[in-house]
Amino acid sequence: MTYKGIISDVKPDSIGAEIGLEPGDRLLEVNGEAVQDIIDLSFALAEEEVELLIEHTSGEQELITLEKEFDEDLGLEFESAVFDKVRQCANKCIFCFVDQMPTGMRDSLYIKDDDYRLSFLYGNFVTLTNLGPQDLSRIARLHLSPLYVSVHTTNGELRSKMLGNRQAGKIMEQLNLLVGKSIEFHTQVVLCPGFNDGQQLEKTIHDLYAMSPSVLSMAIVPVGLTRYRDHCHPLASFSAKEANQVIDLVDKWQMKCRQEIGKSFVYLADEFYLTAGRAIPNYELYDGFPQLENGVGLVRSFLAEWENQPVAATGYTDRHYLDVVCGVSAEKILTPLLTRLSLPNLEVRVVPVKNDFFGRNVTVTGLLTGGDIVETLRSLPGPRTGVIIPGVALRKGEHIFLDNTTPDTVAAELDVPVRTAYFAQDLKQLLAAWR
């Protein structure tokens, strides 16, 4: 089978530039063998003498032989990390967020990837339901570890029901097979009230903890529900009482795990603590934040960075009025911090934005849209020198909101400068030195 790795960029002064490769050229073979992804490519390029079969944008194919150092890179970037096709999700999960997206958005937002290669390379969570014997063999042979696995529940029958896939019931068999091949993995549970919580959650924590140290961590995140659920399975959000029950259960397990293996092992997404009105756990209980990208420990990490970032300015000679945009749930975190920030001639206003795009049940900052931000800010009276938007609301790697608007759109609509703070350090620096 022929795979085509489409080159998107060639670094200047690299081997790729020296041999005349250009964006749009396609890599077909390395040393006479097809490569299906950049994992294969990294192994193939480990040789000092390499033969490349390239298909140029003109359609002409060229065989290029080159010599390089053992660890020397070609300086190539590709449109995709996989040269065949990204494995698509074959499940029909009752909690799928993509199924709750409105129509008319860009195509990439509707892609349901479930590819073990992207799990290894980028930390994408996969369900393992589309793995065949050859895939499992390749994972073991190339030691693609750690992987990130969406477990949700270790009850096979319940998992099949929640994922809408009979293959989903094999999860413990698959995990044990990977453990036997010395593969490690981080795991997650999307928790749905009345389904995989309570005793079922207790069982899942028990089963995954029994597989440590191969299971490196376990994250529990609440189901996210938008207003676009007309044809979705009936689900509810966690109430404050239910969130407290989840916290109490996890607290018990964290204490046990810390006593036995020296780390918490199981971690809750910040939303549980915010919903319950409970204090965010101390920094050391997150053990280096192994699932920060999953929204686990973001608040504590933010608070720690804020406290460790000194104020690099003494204030302003003229009045500055800055609006700091956030989601509804983040207001209770930001307001005390910014109230204590005292700089001459600076007035800061925390602006929690209600999410009308996805629905008012969605309170996290990461799902804010440019349209909702503009409408909220327009409704507020008073002077405004500028606006600080949260970088977490922008699509990863792009300067664009989920509704296809951009920070420039917000700036044009409000006729004020708009700048982006990606985390606590950025925010503090922008507030202290807006100029």
> Quick one: which of 274, 269, 276 has its CA closest to 241?
276
pLDDT of 1 strictly over 70: no
Q: Percentage of residues in the chain with pLDDT exceeding 70?
A: 99
Per-domain residue ranges of the chain:
5-78, 98-299, 309-432
Find the range with the poorest average confidence among 45-49, 261-265, 309-313, 407-411.
Answer: 309-313
Q: What number does CATH give the domain 98-299?
A: 3.20.20
User: Who contacts 199 (Cβ-Cβ below 8 Å, separation ≥6)?
Assistant: none
- Alpha-carbon span 51 to 45, nearest angstrom: 9
Mean pLDDT of 393-408: 87
Helix (H, G, I), strand (E, B) or coil at 310: coil
Mean pLDDT of 285-312: 92
Q: What is the pLDDT of residues 318-335, one digit of tens each?
A: 999 999 999 999 999 999
**β partners of residue 65:** 51
Q: Percentage of residues in the chain with pLDDT exceeding 90?
A: 77
CATH T-level topology, domain 309-432: Rossmann fold (3.40.50)
User: Who contacts 184 (Cβ-Cβ below 8 Å, separation ≥6)?
Assistant: 145, 146, 147, 213, 214, 215, 216
> Quick one: which of 186, 185, 181 has its CA closest to 136?
181
Specify the pairing of strand 185-191 against strand 215-222: parallel
| pLDDT given for residue 122 in this prediction | 92
Q: What one-character DSSP code corresponds to residue 88?
A: B
CA–CA distances in Å: residue 73 to residues 21, 43, 67, 420: 14, 12, 11, 33
Q: What number does CATH give the domain 5-78?
A: 2.30.42.10
The answer to whether 44 touches 31, Cβ cutoff 8 Å, is yes
What angle (nearest 5°) sits at the alpha carbon of residue 290, between those of residues 265 and 134?
90
| DSSP string across 252-306 | HHHHHHHHHHSS--EEE-HHHHHHHTPPPPPGGGGTT-TTGGGTSSHHHHHHHHH
Q: What is the pLDDT of residues 373-383, one digit of tens each?
A: 999 999 999 89
Q: What one-character DSSP code corresponds to residue 135?
A: H
| pLDDT given for residue 169 in this prediction | 96
| pLDDT given for residue 60 in this prediction | 92
| pLDDT given for residue 295 in this prediction | 87
- Alpha-carbon span 7 to 117, nearest angstrom: 19
Confidence of residue 44 (pLDDT cuts 50, 70, 90): confident
pLDDT of 103 strictly over 80: no
Confidence of residue 299 (pLDDT cuts 50, 70, 90): very high
pLDDT of 71 strictly over 80: no
Largest CA distance in the chain: 68
What angle (nearest 5°) sits at the alpha carbon of residue 105, between those of residues 99 and 111?
50
pLDDT of 132 strictly over 70: yes
pLDDT of 164 strictly over 90: yes
